[in-house]
Every structure is written in C-alpha cells, then in structure tokens.
A and B are shown apart, each in its own frame.
Chain A
C-alpha cells in the first residue's frame, strides 16, 4: 500500500466549476501536510500548506482530518490556468523532514 494515495484522475471540469481532490496517508505520525502543483514537464511548486483547522488561500481551501488520515483540496471557480497535476505531500519529522509524495491528481479545466 502506498504511503500517500490519490485518485490519479483526470478530473475534467468546465471553467467556473468547483472541484475537490482527496488524499489519504498511512503514517499516523505524519506531522506536516501540503499540496503541491506540478505543470506538465515542470517541477513541483508548493501551492499551500494544510493546517488542522483548515485554511484558505483565495479560491483554494485545504482541510485535514487527522483521525481519518485524510486531506482535501477544494478549488472554487476553476480557471483554465488551474489545469495541472496536484500532489498531496506529507512530512514526518522523525525521518528528518522527509517529504512523501502521492502520485498526483490531474485536473483539466475546459472552456
């Protein structure tokens, strides 16, 4: 079983739609959580951290459920420029700030 699991998609949505991605992680000792965005053939870039209380950054909302070991990302009012692969990432400090990556969820926003 992978340590971080995501639905690979693709999620095909029209512009303006709301779309949600989910992620589960297996290591209950995981301490930090992130969503990274990766454009085709480019490097991953940090989109946002995920905090226990949930957090929002513009059209993006991230939530964490530690009891269920579940992370989500909600994108409202999707733009064409949101088309990318979204990587769920967890960090276990006991392993020296090692990041464990999910396989990514591909989003395609259509006009």
Chain B
C-alpha cells in the first residue's frame, strides 16, 4: 500500500464550484505539504503544516484553504475554483529517512484538476 494517498486522482469541475482534495499518510510524519505543478514552473508550495495545530501559507496560497484534521490527514480546498487553478496537485509528507540520514519529502501520486 502507498504511504501517501490522494483522492480523487482526477477531477473535472466548473468555475465557481467548491472542490476538496484529500491526502492521507501512513508514515507517521508530522509535516505535510500541498504543492501545485504547472508545466515549466516546477512545484510551488501552497500550504504546509508542521503538526495538527500548525498551518502556514506557502508561496501561492491565494484562492486555497487547508484543514489538518489529524496527523495523517491534510486536505486542500478551492472555495470557488477558477480556470487558472487547473494543475497537477501533490501532497507530501516530510520525515527522517534512516537510510539517507536526513529528512526527506515523500509525495503522493497527485491529483489532476481541470477547471472549466
């Protein structure tokens, strides 16, 4: 089973609709992140959370909100979707990698969102 899962994997919606993307992890990590990826722009950080009571804005938080329901769950919401939010969204967790001796980020499989 995957350590970081995202639902849905694909979603098509219309402008103005509210959308929630879910992320769950079984790695026991405190730190979780939401990124979006657009062609040629790399991954950009939307929000991050270092524990259940800690939520922080990232580079591009406008138009998004998050909820950290539990250590294992971190959801991303688009309150009123717009076409330029069409992108590939990744959830990630961060924790120690014993093999590498340092903290490593682990990504979910991604959610492909199309806003019409």
Which residues of A approach B to under 8 Å, CB–CB? 4, 8, 32, 41-46, 49, 87, 96-99, 101-104
16-65 of chain B: CB within 8 A of chain A: 31, 40-45, 48, 50, 56, 58
Residues from chain A with Cβ under 8 Å of B94 in the complex: 97
- Once the chains are docked, how many angstroms separate the CA of A102 from the CA of B43? 8
Is B41 in contact with A44, judged by CB distance below 8 angstroms?
no
Is B110 in contact with A42, judged by CB distance below 8 angstroms?
yes
Q: Which residue of A lies closest to B108 (CB)?
A: A43
30 sample A-B contacts, Cβ–Cβ < 8 Å, listed by A number: A8-B40, A32-B102, A42-B109, A43-B90, A43-B109, A44-B43, A44-B90, A44-B107, A45-B107, A46-B97, A46-B100, A46-B104, A49-B102, A87-B43, A96-B48, A96-B50, A97-B94, A97-B103, A98-B45, A98-B48, A98-B58, A99-B43, A99-B45, A101-B42, A101-B43, A101-B44, A103-B40, A103-B41, A103-B42, A104-B42
- Once the chains are docked, how many angstroms separate the CA of A19 from the CA of B82? 40
Q: Which residue of A lies closest to B4 (CB)?
A: A43
Q: How many residue-residue contacts, CB under 8 A, span A and B?
A: 44
Residues from chain A with Cβ under 8 Å of B100 in the complex: 46, 49
Residues from chain A with Cβ under 8 Å of B43 in the complex: 44, 87, 99, 101
Q: Which residue of B lies closest to A8 (CB)?
A: B40
Residues from chain A with Cβ under 8 Å of B42 in the complex: 4, 87, 101-104
- Once the chains are docked, how many angstroms separate the CA of A42 from the CA of B23? 16
B81 to chain A, nearest CB (A): 21
